[in-house]
Amino acid sequence: MSKKSLQLGKPTRVPASPEKAALDRVPNPHPDTDYAARFTAPEFTTLCPITGQPDFAHLAIDYVPGKWLVESKSLKLYLASFRNHGAFHEDCTVAIGKKLVKLLTPKYLRIGGYWYPRGGMPIDVFWQHGKLPGSVWLPDQGVAPYRGRG
């Protein structure tokens, strides 16, 4: 565990921006075993950098940890920090993936950003890092192609 104090177990405000958000990591209790972990954020929100209008997405993050796991409260707060942040769909999705890779150094990570339409067109963004170990079963992310995302 890092020497800094984790956000877990104490009141923590939503950070003002992704740049001010802290992601915490904790030791993987099974570093000798390849397995996948999934986080979903079905109500991810950010702002259009042009109009300032809200954009919504369903994010699915899958990773095969190495030495580290992302601490879930810090991930929740980091994702919430985007709610007043202006960025394009592609930027948000890829930046989240890259920040997690930098923090965790996972064996594999993929993120799917399933964005609700703006201007009548959904924009889905997918990014991955590393190669999925052959021994790991990873199901489909389970987000339906756009039909009202319901």
Q: Report DSSP letters for 120-150, one per residue.
A: TB--EEEEEEE---TT-------PPPSSS--
Could you give the residue numbers annotated as active site? Answer: 48, 55
User: Do residues 7 and 75 lie in contact, with contact meaning Cβ atoms separated by under 8 Å?
Assistant: no
Nearest to 85 by CA among 19, 17, 13: 17
CB 106 within 8 A of CB 66: yes
CB count in 10 Å sphere of residue 21: 20
Which residues, 6+ apart, have CB-to-CB distance to 144 below 8 Å? Answer: 150
User: Beta strand pairing status for 124-130 and 54-64?
Assistant: unpaired
